[in-house]
Amino acid sequence: MNPALLAFLKKEFIQALRDKRMRLILFVVPVVQMMVFGLALSNEIKNVRLAVQAVPNDRLAHKIGERAAESGWFHLVPADDAEPFELIRTGRADAVLVAPPGGLTRALARQSGEAQVLVDATNAIKARVIENYLNAVLYRVLRDENPTRAPEAAVTFDVRVLYNPTLETSAYLVPGVMGLILCLVTILLSSMSMAREREMGTFETLIAAPVAPWELFLGKTMPFMILGLADVPLMIALGVGGFHVPLRGPLWALFLAAAVFVGTTVFIGTLISTFAKNQQQAMMGSFLFLFPAILLSGVMAPLENIPAAVVPLSWLNPLRFFVSLTRQVMLKGTIGPFYWTNLAALGLLGAAAATASVQRFRRTL
Amino acid sequence: MNAVEVSELTVRFDSFTAVDRITFAVGVGEIFGFLGANGAGKTTTIRVLTGLLSPTEGRVRVAGRSFADGARTIKSRVGYMSQRFTLYDDLTVSENLAFTSGLRKIPPAVSAERIQRLLRFVGFNHSPSALVRDLPGGLKQDVSLVAALLHDPDIVFLDEPTAGVSPAARSKFWALIRGLAREGKTIFVTTHHMDEAEECGRIALMRAGRIIALDSPAELKAQSFPDPLLEIEWTAGAPAGWRESLLERGAASVVPYGLHHHVMVNNRAAWDRFVGEHTGRLTVRTIAPSLEDVFIRLVEGADR
């Protein structure tokens, strides 16, 4: 192996692993972030407090309440004959089912009537989910009560959820978070290390030596690709072992995607560093890239929610493609045209990042 | 053949001319001093001579190589100790030297032997497995010098090597520089210390991108002060306007030096009359001009 590259590998590994903060960024931050995202950032809403406001002999209204509690999403809180709105306002309940005057049971017998549901929508997402859950419960109860006259008896959906049948959000989030962490670690590592050389003056040592620009460039990028890839098995183990995220596809497909992705992000990090005079500027520059990259990646919010005008921007986002790839490989497991087109797109971005950073790097020598 | 040959070298950054048509040569084995205020163009010149910066105009030959041969062929023959601290302070002494060896592609066996020899040469008595950040300033300079010498360069460029180093460490460092010159290496050094400039075989003084003087310290003194230099002290208070009257009557310069003044006389008869008028209030001694006197005079001359 080229002795200059070997020297760089040794030096960067020693520096990265000796520095306490770097060790933290490399090995502790990924684990903590996976935990936080996997456990806390969940779209599932449990323990919704539901109050049923109905006369005691209104069998149907209370049955809906019981069914809701049985589903596991709700637990019942006593209505205490309070004003329904008061229950929400004072925070004693998240949702209140208010039976019509005379009761739901009689309304059903009459084949007409309306029940009111009050939902606390200070958290809009939560309110939407509660509404959907309650609708489903109501539908079930009505069908049980009146099998012959089920409301939409003509056509019913038999929905089968594939790949993530229990709709575990961690299965969806964890592969995305893996990409997010990998992106963060490699961009910070590569941009800060180069900026550090400039800040400390050691850059002079590098350029005073008779090394070719490509040797310098590879010497300042390769070590971080390897360090970044070292995080991949750690995160896969945590995702599969800790969060029971399935790994249906082959490992090589995951590592191939990770290698292309890490290459791309390290080149971007190096590109950022060519604009930075010190580590602080490199950090700022990195976050200038990272925030939009994370928002436009589909890790947190579905890509479909991105406004049309911003969509082309997401095509320039390597994280977007990598997240699609990890989900594809881990959850679906099929290595088909979807995998290869996303990988090709990622590769194109990588090539563009490499070209741009080589150009800038040469100019700053 | 000369170690360094520079002719009509010009370096411009956009519209700013950092180095303006300078011409000089440095012989093999010489200790060549490069002096001048900050911003005079010293570091820019050194960056050209070490292959870090391409000249805008002019010809440069360093160790027989020119930019036409590629900057890297120059880099491989020169050692450079930059003004800025260029070791990694989070690596140990041996890790730093191992990295430099690798970067310069020195075979491991050769580099191991050289590191041993050079650490002995600079008198490094600390542990090589100590982190560089834990070393005192003087020792860091020693290790920087070892790193600059690892590839056995013909010419060593030292850009303010003793800035911020204790006087004891400075004199030790200069003993090393003389040792290197005896081995036949050419030393090219910049400094702000006049006592260090005295150690150089020849010195060049740069000002605003130009070399305004270039010779041995003794020769520069003789040229700048053809007339004797006198140090005067007013023992009983100086009369008002004495400087002006002295300059009118026959002194080429009157420069204050602490409590004394250095006077250069060019009209002996007028001077003798002046001394006669102030007998008893004035003590006069003939002194040898220091390099500082020389530079003040040269810079004044260039400004005029």
Range of A336's domain?
3-41+167-364
Task: Answer yes or no: do A248 and A356 share one domain.
Answer: yes
Task: Answer yes or no: do A299 and A179 share one domain.
Answer: yes
Helices (H), chain A: 3-18, 20-23, 29-35, 59-70, 84-89, 104-110, 124-145, 169-200, 203-208, 213-219, 222-237, 243, 251-273, 279-295, 311-314, 318-327, 337-364
Residue B228 to residue B218: CA distance in whole angstroms: 14
Model pLDDT, residue A171:
79
Q: Which helix (H) or strand (E) holds A50?
A: strand A48-53
**How many Cα atoms occupy the beta-carbon half-sphere of B236 within 13 Å?**
5
Do B9 and B176 meet the contact criterion of CB atoms below 8 Å apart?
no
Task: Answer yes or no: do A127 and A13 share one domain.
Answer: no
Residue B51 to residue B54: CA distance in whole angstroms: 7
Report, as an integer, the average pLDDT of B232-237. Answer: 84
A353 falls within a domain: yes
Predicted TM-score (pTM) of this structure: 0.78
Residues in a beta bridge with B204? B34, B214
Residues forming CATH 3.40.50.300 domain(s) in chain B: 2-221
Of A149, A181, A205, at which residue does a domain stop?
A: A149
pLDDT digits (tens, 9 = 90+) for A177-191: 899 999 999 999 999
Q: A279-295 and A251-273 helices cross at what angle (nearest 10)?
A: 130
A301 falls within a domain: yes
Chain A interface mutation, best of B67, B92, B100, B103, highest count of A Cβ atoms under 10 Å: B103
* CATH code linked to domain B2-221: 3.40.50.300
pLDDT digits (tens, 9 = 90+) for A156-180: 566 676 776 766 777 788 888 899 9
Q: What is the CATH number of the domain that holds A96?
A: 3.40.190.10
pLDDT digits (tens, 9 = 90+) for B262-300: 888 878 888 888 888 888 888 888 888 888 888 888 877
Residue B71 to residue A360: CA distance in whole angstroms: 19
Q: What percent of chain A has pLDDT over 70?
A: 94
Residues of chain A in contact with residue B86, where contact means CB-CB under 8 angstroms, are: 201-202, 204-205, 208
* Number of residues that this document lists for chain A: 365
Task: Answer yes or no: do A252 and A177 share one domain.
Answer: yes
pLDDT digits (tens, 9 = 90+) for A57-73: 888 888 888 888 888 88
- Statement: residue B32 has pLDDT above 60: yes
Amino acid of residue A262:
V
Q: For A14, which of B76, B87, B95 is closest by C-beta distance?
A: B95
Q: How many domains does chain A have?
A: 2
Q: For B91, which of A11, A207, A211 is closest by C-beta distance?
A: A11
Instruction: Pull the structure tokens for residue A348.
Output: 């194109």
A162 falls within a domain: no
Task: Answer yes or no: do A135 and A230 share one domain.
Answer: no
Residues forming CATH 3.30.70.330 domain(s) in chain B: 226-288
A154 falls within a domain: no
A158 falls within a domain: no
Do A332 and A248 meet the contact criterion of CB atoms below 8 Å apart?
yes
Model pLDDT, residue A44:
63
Report, as an integer, the average pLDDT of A199-210. Answer: 89
pLDDT digits (tens, 9 = 90+) for B213-223: 899 988 888 88
Q: How far is B226 from chain A (nearest CA, A)?
A: 43
Identify the contact set of chain A against chain B, taking CB-CB distances under 8 A: 3-4, 6-8, 10-11, 14-15, 18-19, 200-202, 204-212
Residues of chain A in contact with residue B95, where contact means CB-CB under 8 angstroms, are: 10-11, 14
Q: How sure is the predictor about A153, in pLDDT bands with cuts at 50, 70 and 90?
A: very low
Q: For B50, which of A6, A202, A208 is closest by C-beta distance?
A: A208
Q: What percent of chain B has pLDDT over 90?
A: 47
Model pLDDT, residue B303:
63
pLDDT digits (tens, 9 = 90+) for A322-336: 999 999 999 988 899
Task: Answer yes or no: do A303 and A219 share one domain.
Answer: yes
Size of the A and B interface in Cβ pairs below 8 Å:
74
- Statement: residue B188 has pLDDT above 50: yes
Q: How far is A187 from chain B (nearest CA, A)?
A: 21
A65 falls within a domain: yes
Higher pLDDT: A113 or A231? It is A231
A156 falls within a domain: no
Q: What is the ipTM of this complex?
A: 0.80
Burial class (CB in 10 A: 0-12, 13-18, 19+), B22: buried
**Is CATH 3.10.20.30 what the domain over B226-288 is classified as, yes or no?**
no
Task: Answer yes or no: do A197 and A227 share one domain.
Answer: yes
Task: Answer yes or no: do A213 and A352 share one domain.
Answer: yes
Higher pLDDT: B153 or A44? It is B153
